[in-house]
């Protein structure tokens, strides 16, 4: 028996695996197709997608978590009022944590404006915030004296760096691909709905297509005469 080459078999199996969703969509009846279209349109009307909302919640968590750590640092180093005046009013790049807090505020404003308000579908905004955060923290860690101020000299820069890169990963590998997949599904459903509308006759099936003419009277008379002849006794 002749066997197909391995490359050809892999191509055929891959093509067969990529088409089930399309075949399943076209095998659905028009009522189900319309229900799916309405469900997708309802998702668009209700606002941002679920995965994008989760991303915005994580961005908010980023700001709140860095703020909490900064407030704890202010309280540990001699009281909030005294340390706040020292780090904000008498700001020193080499020893203050206030700029790390402002960096979290910068990420929050840019990302919420881009992905919640403007509903941007590109990675450039999160790439900007991550690049600015990474560059600023690297320079600050190299030049500043944070490591001599206790555990917060390590915690705040590392936490800010990690959160910024998690936001980049989450948007690029979760938010954008999932929304693109939902858009493709909507296009497939709409295309299948249009095909079903073209195939189905307008107005559905008419009563005439199921009309069966009644039996003719001539045929019924002949059958009754034959029955009577058969019932007569033979002499």
DSSP assignment of 83-125 equals HHIIIIIT--TTT-SHHHHHHHHHHHHHHHIIIIIS---SSHH
Q: What is the pLDDT of residue 215?
A: 53
**Mean pLDDT for the chain overall:** 77
Please state, in angstroms and rounded to a whole number, the distance separating the CA atoms of residues 61 and 66.
Answer: 8
Q: What is the pLDDT of residue 221?
A: 55
Q: For residue 17, give both structure tokens.
A: 């695996």
More confident residue, 155 or 6: 155
Q: What is the pLDDT of residue 182?
A: 87
Q: What is the pLDDT of residue 160?
A: 96
Closest alpha carbon to 98 in 116, 73, 76: 73
Scan for tokens 């640092």, then name that residue: 73
User: What SS3 state is found at 179?
Assistant: helix
- In this prediction, residue 18 has a pLDDT band, given cuts at 50, 70 and 90, of very low
Q: What is the pLDDT of residue 158?
A: 94
- In this prediction, residue 132 has a pLDDT band, given cuts at 50, 70 and 90, of very high
Residue 12 pLDDT > 50, yes or no?
A: no
83, with CB counted inside 10 A (0-12, 13-18, 19+), is buried
Q: How far is CA 41 from CA 30, 44, 134, 178, 188, in A?
A: 16, 5, 39, 16, 14
List all residues 6 or more positions away from 65 whose beta carbon is below 8 Å from its beta carbon.
159, 163
Scan for tokens 């990420």, then name that residue: 107
Please state, in angstroms and rounded to a whole number, the distance separating the CA atoms of residues 212 and 210.
Answer: 6
Residue 17 pLDDT > 90, yes or no?
A: no
Q: For residue 158, give both structure tokens.
A: 């590392």
Closest alpha carbon to 152 in 221, 189, 98, 113: 98
Q: What is the pLDDT of residue 187?
A: 78
- In this prediction, residue 137 has a pLDDT band, given cuts at 50, 70 and 90, of very high
Q: What is the pLDDT of residue 149?
A: 80
Q: In the chain, which residue ranges form alpha helices assigned H by DSSP?
A: 6-18, 20-26, 30-45, 50-76, 80-84, 98-112, 124-143, 152-170, 176-199, 217-231
Q: What is the pLDDT of residue 128?
A: 97
**Of 93-107, 170-184, 188-202, which gets the smallest average pLDDT?**
188-202
Please state, in angstroms and rounded to a whole number, the distance separating the CA atoms of residues 3 and 10.
Answer: 13
Most confident of 7-11, 57-61, 212-216: 57-61
The pTM of this model reads: 0.66
Give 50-99 pLDDT, tens digit per residue. Answer: 999 999 999 999 999 999 999 999 998 878 888 899 999 999 998 899 99
**Of 20-24, 35-39, 194-198, 200-204, which gets the smallest average pLDDT?**
20-24
- In this prediction, residue 165 has a pLDDT band, given cuts at 50, 70 and 90, of very high
Q: What is the pLDDT of residue 153?
A: 87
More confident residue, 25 or 69: 69
Closest alpha carbon to 59 in 97, 103, 98, 107: 107
- In this prediction, residue 11 has a pLDDT band, given cuts at 50, 70 and 90, of very low
């Amino acid at each position: 028996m002749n066997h197909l080459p391995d490359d050809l078999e892999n191509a055929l199996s891959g093509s067969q695996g990529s088409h089930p969703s399309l075949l399943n969509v076209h095998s659905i009846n028009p009522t189900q197709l319309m229900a799916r279209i309405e469900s997708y349109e309802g998702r668009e009307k209700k606002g941002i997608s679920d995965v994008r909302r989760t991303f915005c919640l994580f961005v908010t968590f980023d700001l709140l978590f860095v703020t909490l750590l900064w407030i704890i640092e202010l309280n540990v180093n001699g009281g909030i009022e005294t340390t706040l005046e020292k780090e904000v009013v008498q700001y020193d790049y080499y020893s203050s944590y206030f700029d790390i807090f402002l960096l979290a505020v910068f990420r929050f404003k840019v990302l919420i404006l881009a992905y919640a308000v403007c509903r941007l579908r590109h990675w450039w905004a999160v790439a900007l915030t991550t690049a600015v955060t990474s560059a600023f923290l690297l320079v600050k860690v190299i030049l500043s004296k944070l490591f001599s101020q206790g555990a917060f000299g390590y915690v705040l820069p590392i936490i800010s760096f990690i959160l910024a890169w998690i936001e980049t990963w989450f948007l690029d590998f979760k938010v954008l691909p999932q929304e693109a997949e939902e858009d493709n599904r909507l296009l497939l459903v709409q295309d299948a709905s249009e095909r079903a509308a073209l195939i189905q006759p307008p107005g559905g099936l008419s009563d005439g297509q199921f009309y069966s003419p009644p039996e003719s009277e001539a045929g019924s008379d002949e059958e009754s005469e034959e029955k009577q002849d058969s019932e007569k006794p033979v002499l």
